[in-house]
A and B are shown apart, each in its own frame.
Chain A
Amino acid sequence: IAGITQAPTSQILAAGRRMTLRCTQDMRHNAMYWYRQDLGLGLRLIHYSNTAGTTGKGEVPDGYSVSRANTDDFPLTLASAVPSQTSVYFCASSDTAGGKNEQFFGPGTRLTVL
């Protein structure tokens, strides 16, 4: 594979359930990101990781957690899903050397919380 993969492609989830969205990249990028995209609100950063072993909060982190155990994987967990977390979730990665930060996106996960 080349690039970023995300799983699942789509999911319908009952409120209160726990859910982990998976993201894997094979470009050896140091930084990874999770965004959500909602109509009229654009892309909003949830969490990011500048390097394996570190994570940081973005613009809308509440209700989400992440981990970065290695360079390739960056899972996003919803501990107890709520309907307001219905959205399309995109994972992205970048090589931040030189400060350019060109980010490349995965195909996305469409999540519906009922």
Chain B
Amino acid sequence: QKEVEQNSGPLSVPEGAIASLNCTYSDRVSQSFFWYRQYSGKSPELIMSIYSNGDKEDGRFTAQLNKASQYVSLLIRDSQPSDSATYLCAVNMIRGSTLGRLYFGRGTQLTVWP
């Protein structure tokens, strides 16, 4: 099992719809979870961080975390064509004596069509 797995997509939704992106992770003791957005030809941009169970809302974005199920999701409400990008899930896993390392999923490509 990979450390971080995302629904592979691609995902296509109409403008104004809710886009739902999902991610599961393998390390039960992980404490920090992140969503990055990456436009084609650009670098990953951090858009959401979540550290405790439940929902965290920021504008049109809501991150949801369920540590018991080892599941984290990102909802994008009122999707816009400008949201079209690849979304990367990342989980901070502390193993051995390191301070932690981010493990990334392979990303879900989202297209929002007008």
- Same complex for A and B? Answer yes
Q: A42-B105, A45-B101 are in contact. Are A102 and B43 (CB under 8 A)?
A: no
Q: By the criterion of a CB under 8 Å from any partner CB, how many residues of chain B are at the interface?
A: 24
Does A8 sit within 8 A of B, measured CB to CB?
no
Chain B residues with Cβ below 8 Å from A96 are 99-100
- Cβ–Cβ contact B92 & A101, under 8 A: yes
Knowing A42-B105, A101-B102, the reply to whether A106 touches B43 (Cβ < 8 A) is yes
Say yes or no for A48: interface residue by CB 8 A criterion: yes
Q: Does any Cβ of A come within 8 Å of B25's Cβ?
A: no
Residues of B with C-beta under 8 A to A81: none
Distance from A54 Cβ to chain B, minimum over Cβ atoms (Å): 11
B32 lies within 8 A of A101 (CB):
yes
A42 to B105 CA separation, bound complex (whole angstroms): 7
Determine whether the beta carbon of B43 is less than 8 Å from that of A90: yes
Q: Which of B36, B49, B94, B106 contacts A99 (CB 8 A)?
A: B94
In the complex, residue of chain B having the shortest beta-carbon distance to the beta carbon of A41:
B106
Tell me the B68-114 residues at the A interface (CB within 8 Å): 88, 90, 92, 94, 98-102, 104-107
Which residues of A come within 8 Å of B, CB atoms? 31, 33, 40-43, 45, 48, 50, 56, 58, 90, 96, 99-108
Q: Interface on B for A, CB 8 Å cutoff?
A: 31-32, 34, 36, 42-46, 49, 51, 88, 90, 92, 94, 98-102, 104-107
